[in-house]
């Protein structure tokens, strides 16, 4: 059997709207790491029933030197194919689907890759607020239930995960990026690289993910007509004035209506005790390391 090029398969698990695109771009700025975004979307590439934006690189569009004609088969799994193509031995996949994570982590583990699950979390109130911003037709209760179910499902998956599980808080990543990323580098087994602190300047080829965060990527490499998603309204204003660095997004404090907050507390208040972020806390650096 040929030697495996993909030594390490990293998964970012957890709920949506929790900063996985930012974490993925940070990790993918390391010269040994390729961040594939929500890599499960690659299975839709040949499926013309799916919208085009869901089956192409968010930066390059349909003409992507990484994703185009990538051969995945019984011998070469997705991460091995990506590592061979990019020359980067570590891959990062931020697909949220637990079924996919289970299947792919077992496959990579069985083939000798080191597998790592980064269990990303964020204050549930911020997650629900982002959800309402994107899908206002759903109620706060529905968003809270979705968050809770994904967090509980990911925790159950983490307990069975064939590899290392490391908890990461979104708030720790943005308030103490270097300390957080150094810790993750130790877990992954790579040396920290300062390029990780500048996640919007390196070459990236993510599938799916947060269009707002991706809009911060260097304009030189984005092609609006093909790849990167247009954003509009208050989201556009927010990201237009966003510095190209780590910023703690606390928009929920202004935007989440009192009734929605009450709905959230009724459904998910108990679970959120462990995830609630107190910005006045002085132990922001050490939080999330447990």
- Closest distance of CB 66 from Zn ion, Å: 5
76 binds Zn ion (CB under 5 A): no
Burial category of 213 from C-beta neighbours within 10 Å (exposed 0-12, middle 13-18, buried 19 and up) = buried
Phi then psi for residue 23, to 5 deg, are -65, -40
Is residue 32 within 8 A of residue 131, CB to CB? The reply is no
Contact flag: residue 205 with Zn ion (CB under 5 A) = yes
Q: By rule CB under 5 A, what count of residues binds Zn ion?
A: 5
Q: How far is the CB of 18 from Zn ion (least distance, A)?
A: 24
- Contact between 57 and Zn ion (CB under 5 A)? yes
Count of all residues that appear for the chain in the document? 290
Q: Which is nearer to Zn ion, 17 or 205 (CB)?
A: 205
Give the binding range for Zn ion (CB under 5 A) out of 19-27, 42-50, 53-61, 254-262. 53-61
Q: Is 30 in the site for Zn ion (CB under 5 A)?
A: no
When asked if residue 39 is in the footprint of Zn ion (CB under 5 A), the reply is: no
Chosen residue from 9, 12, 15, 64 binding Zn ion by CB under 5 A: 64
Q: Which residues contact 183 (CB under 8 A, 6 or more apart)?
A: 166, 289
Give me the phi and psi of 122, to 5 degrees please.
-150, 150
CB of 221 to Zn ion, least distance (A): 9
Helix (H) or strand (E) holding 272: helix 258-272
Long-range contact list for 79-84, CB < 8 A, 24+ apart? 79/6, 79/9, 79/104, 79/108, 79/113, 80/4, 80/5, 80/6, 80/111, 82/6, 82/34, 82/36, 82/39, 83/5, 83/6, 83/7, 83/34, 84/5, 84/6
Task: Render 184-224 in DSSP notation, one character per residue.
Answer: HHHHHT----GGGG-TTSS----BSS-HHHHTTS-GGG--T
Binding to Zn ion by residue 60, rule CB under 5 A? yes
Q: Which stretch binds Zn ion (CB under 5 A): 29-37, 60-68, 260-268, 272-280?
A: 60-68
Can residue 146 be called a binding residue for Zn ion (CB under 5 A)? no
Stretch binding Zn ion (CB under 5 A), from 61-69, 75-83, 139-147, 210-218: 61-69
Q: Choose one: 30-38, 111-119, 201-209, 244-252; the region binding Zn ion (CB under 5 A).
A: 201-209
**90 vs 165, which CB is nearer to Zn ion?**
90
Q: In this complex, which beta carbon is closest to Zn ion, that of residue 130 or of residue 202?
A: 202
CB of 36 to Zn ion, least distance (A): 10
Give the integer Cα–Cα distance in Å for 18 and 211: 13
Please report how close the Cβ of residue 230 comes to Zn ion at its closest, in angstroms.
18
Residues 211-250 that bind Zn ion (CB under 5 A): none
* Site for Zn ion, rule CB under 5 A: 57, 59-60, 64, 205
């Amino acid at each position: 059997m040929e030697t495996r090029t993909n030594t390490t398969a990293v998964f970012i698990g957890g709920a949506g709207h929790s900063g996985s695109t930012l974490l993925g771009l940070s990790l993918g700025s390391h010269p040994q790491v390729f961040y594939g975004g929500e890599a499960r979307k690659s299975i839709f590439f040949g499926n013309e029933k799916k919208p085009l934006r869901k089956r192409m690189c968010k930066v390059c569009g349909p003409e992507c030197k990484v994703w185009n004609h990538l051969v995945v088969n019984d011998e070469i799994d997705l991460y091995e194919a990506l590592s061979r193509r990019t020359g980067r031995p570590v891959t990062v996949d931020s697909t949220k689907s637990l079924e996919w994570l289970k299947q792919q982590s077992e496959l990579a583990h069985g083939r000798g890759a080191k597998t790592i699950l980064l269990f990303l979390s964020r204050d549930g109130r911020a997650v629900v607020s982002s959800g309402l911003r994107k899908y206002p037709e759903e109620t706060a209760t529905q968003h809270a239930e979705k968050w809770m179910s994904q967090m509980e499902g990911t925790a159950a998956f983490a307990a069975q995960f064939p590899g290392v599980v490391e908890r990461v808080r979104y708030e720790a990543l943005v308030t103490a990026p270097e300390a957080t990323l150094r810790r993750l580098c130790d877990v992954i087994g790579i040396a920290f690289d300062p390029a990780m602190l500048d996640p919007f300047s390196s070459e990236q080829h993510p599938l799916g993910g947060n269009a707002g965060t991706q809009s911060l990527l260097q304009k030189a490499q984005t092609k609006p007509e093909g790849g990167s998603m247009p954003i509009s309204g208050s989201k556009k204003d927010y990201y237009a004035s966003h510095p190209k660095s780590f910023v703690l997004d606390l928009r929920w404090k202004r935007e989440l209506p009192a009734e929605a907050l009450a709905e959230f507390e009724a459904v998910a208040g108990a679970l959120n005790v462990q995830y609630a972020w107190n910005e006045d806390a002085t132990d922001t650096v050490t939080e999330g390391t447990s």
